[in-house]
Structure 1
């Protein structure tokens, strides 16, 4: 079994709400992303249900005549339902204590569990080359799952968009950042 999963962070968006669309710059980035991935063989595309994630991959899906499957497990992680002016410090703490959970939010372990479950389903599928489109918080947890050197600083360094390739075989995996800043 050799699988490649392209992990894509969405392009620039107008906000953080689930229905926040891409900005004009984000739409241009989505076109550039489609061109960037043009020569990659893609069997399926799976996206977060958030509008900005779907819009990020629409040009690529259209070029490859692929449907976008929506998977709620790829939605952004909820840190807390309460307003936290010091949210960055609180977020960093969740990379040190993976079970730390704030009011109305998910722990790092809970959020990691759902995205890893989605990735494991992809590993078991017939598709050899898949794309998942998600958000910085949840993607950084997936990167940390595979590379313990990733974490809070990796989250801070993610760009919009960003692309990683996760190559998985029966007994090995390799994670590589493919996207370079514009």
Structure 2
């Protein structure tokens, strides 16, 4: 059975805290996301518990008449618990050194492991089509797990919202970007690669 996981980055938000809500533009983007998914079969939605991620897919959940499940493992990666003036440079370094860590933060490898564990649980379940809603950095690390050259530059090019498809068929996975300027595009990131066990 082919399993499809739609990895969604949240819509535009007012800030970074867990409680940050969507901006007016983000609310409109959430409506556009619902329209985007209106003709796509969805059986399950699993989201980061952050307000901005849940609110990004509430309309999809209502349309599909399914509940949004929340999972802490989809929360944004913590780069450091201290303020880093050069955080962008430090973030870039973590794409090259997967074990690099800063005070109170997670390494790329650690953050990747927790988001991949959500995907593996979904794949071991019964449903065919799942939406996973998360944050930009964590999304990029999930995609990097299946396409190793997905890195800092690709993270910078992600949009709010963004949608990628991970399609699993036996031991093969196809990665495809579906969202760009609200249009479905022919993916330039198609891969066929043996799934990591």
Residue aligning to 1:19:
19
Runs of 4+, deviation exceeding 3 Å? none
Q: Deviations over 1:5-59 (max 9, x none)?
A: 0000000000000010000100000000000111110000000000000000001
Match of 1:163, SS?
Answer: strand
Q: State the number of aligned residues.
A: 182
Residue aligning to 1:66:
66
**Which whole-Å CA distance do the structure 2 matches of 1:65 and 1:128 have between them?**
16
Query: How far 1:149 sits from its partner (Å)?
Result: 1.8
Match of 1:8, SS?
Answer: strand
Q: Aligned pair 1:98/2:98, yes or no?
A: yes
**Which whole-Å CA distance do the structure 2 matches of 1:75 and 1:46 have between them?**
11
The residue correspondences of 1:36-47 to structure 2 (distance < 5 A) are 36-47=36-47
Residue aligning to 2:177:
177
Match of 1:42, SS?
Answer: coil
RMSD after superposition: 0.6
Query: How far 1:83 sits from its partner (Å)?
Result: 0.5
The residue correspondences of 1:126-145 to structure 2 (distance < 5 A) are 126-145=126-145
Q: Deviations over 1:113-161 (max 9, x none)?
A: 0000000000000010000000001000001111012111111010000
Residue aligning to 2:148:
148
- In structure 2, runs of 5+ residues without a counterpart are 183-197
Q: TM-score, normalised by structure 2?
A: 0.91
- In structure 1, runs of 5+ residues without a counterpart are none
Match of 1:180, SS?
Answer: coil
